[in-house]
Amino acid sequence: MSVGNDRVENHRAENGTPLLEIRDLVVHHGQLRALSGISLRVYPGEVYAIIGANGAGKSTLLRTISGLHHPSAGSIVYDGRDVTGMRPEKRATAGIVMVPEGRRLFPSLTLEENLKVGATYARTGPWTIQRVYDLFPWMKERRTQRTAQMSGGEQQSVAIGRALVANPRMLLLDELSLGLAPVIVQRIYGMLPQILASGVTVLLVEQDVSQALRVATHLQCLLEGNTTLEGRPSDVTAAEVEAAYFGMGSAAAVAHADQDEGGEG
């Protein structure tokens, strides 16, 4: 935890009660302890970024929030309700919707059918398939194509669209940048303001730290299942981030960090 954490928390609390609150979450993969007591609070309207290296537990955290993993301890409270034991599909219909790592589109379905599946159990809200087409205009004329033939960036956009038509309140984005060219990543993150404007709160996991710092209103860094840093991007220094990310405070790590991130993203 960073030193100024209490002040940050007080500032954020002005937004009201958290939309999502995680308390002391412990998750095991078999014998392996993937998360050792993670806590976080996401307030409405935030872009909350979880950063960390490979194996830090970021994706495990998101998958546990969406219900695909069961925690061995701790609790997940969403909109004032304890959802720790709730089935994943119930969480989705309650408004916690995840864009999973690797996009996970339905390959034998067309683009539009993918969106229709996303809309089948949708909450009422501003997002419709038509509005997704407005956000990504290229989709409309390719809606009858199967998504397997599409580029990685296009597939990622469809995955985002499929999540949006469910009208999430809490949108979980897992490694949007994975396997995509930097220019495509920029373009996809460029959609974020429009998504936020529709009243969606975002919790995202990102290996690409510079990308996360650019869009986040709040930041939390994981290392081997523990929180090593938390705060607003403006309140943490690059050196602190690098130390938290790699788990060491050496100057060398800071100096080489930029290239390393570029390579991983």
Partner 1 sequence: MAWVNAVIQGILTGGLYALFACGLSLMFGVMKVVNLAHGDLATVAGYIGVGVIAATHMPFLWSVPVVVLAMAVLGYVLQRSMIQAAISRGELTTLIVTFGLSIVIENGLLQFFSADTRGVGVGDSIVSASFSIGSQIQIAWLNVVIFALAVVVLLGLQYFLSVSKYGRLIRAVADDREAAQLSGADYRHVFGIAAAVAFGTVALAGTAYGMTTVIDPTTGTDTILLFAFAAVVIGGLGSLWGTLIGGIILGVAQQIGAQINISYELLAGYIIFLAVLVIRPQGLTARRSES
Q: Which is nearer to partner 1, 85 or 262 (CB)?
A: 85
Q: Side chain identity at 183, as an amino acid letter?
A: V
Chain centroid to CA 14? 23
- Shortest CB 139 distance to partner 1, Å: 17
Q: What crossing angle do the helices spanning 182-189 and 152-164 adopt, rounded to 10°?
A: 20
Q: Which is nearer to partner 1, 19 or 122 (CB)?
A: 122
Residues of the shown chain interacting with partner 1 in the complex, contacts defined by CB under 8 A = 66-68, 87-89, 92-93, 97-98, 100, 104-109, 113-114, 116-118, 120-122, 162-163, 166
- Among residues 118 and 265, whose Cβ is nearest to partner 1? 118
The least CB distance from residue 167 to partner 1, in Å, is: 10
* Phi-psi region at 18: left, alpha or beta (left = phi > 0; alpha = psi -120 to 50): beta
For 25, list phi and psi in degrees, rounded to 5: -75, 125
Smallest distance from partner 1 to CB 107, Å: 6
Nearer to partner 1, 107 or 249 (CB): 107
Strands (E), the chain: 20-29, 32-42, 47-51, 73-78, 81-82, 96-99, 170-174, 201-206, 218-223, 226-231
Name 17's Cβ contacts closer than 8 Å, sequence gap at least 6: 43, 80
Shortest Cβ 108–partner 1 spacing (Å): 5
Q: Are 61 and 71 in contact (CB under 8 A)?
A: no
Q: Which residues contact 226 (CB under 8 A, 6 or more apart)?
A: 36, 37, 38
> Which residues are bridge partners to 231 per DSSP?
219
Cβ 221 to partner 1 shortest distance, Å:
25
- Closer CB to partner 1, 120 or 151, in the complex: 120
Q: Which CB sits closer to partner 1, 50 or 105?
A: 105
CA 257 to chain centre: 22
Least distance CB 170 / partner 1 (angstroms):
13
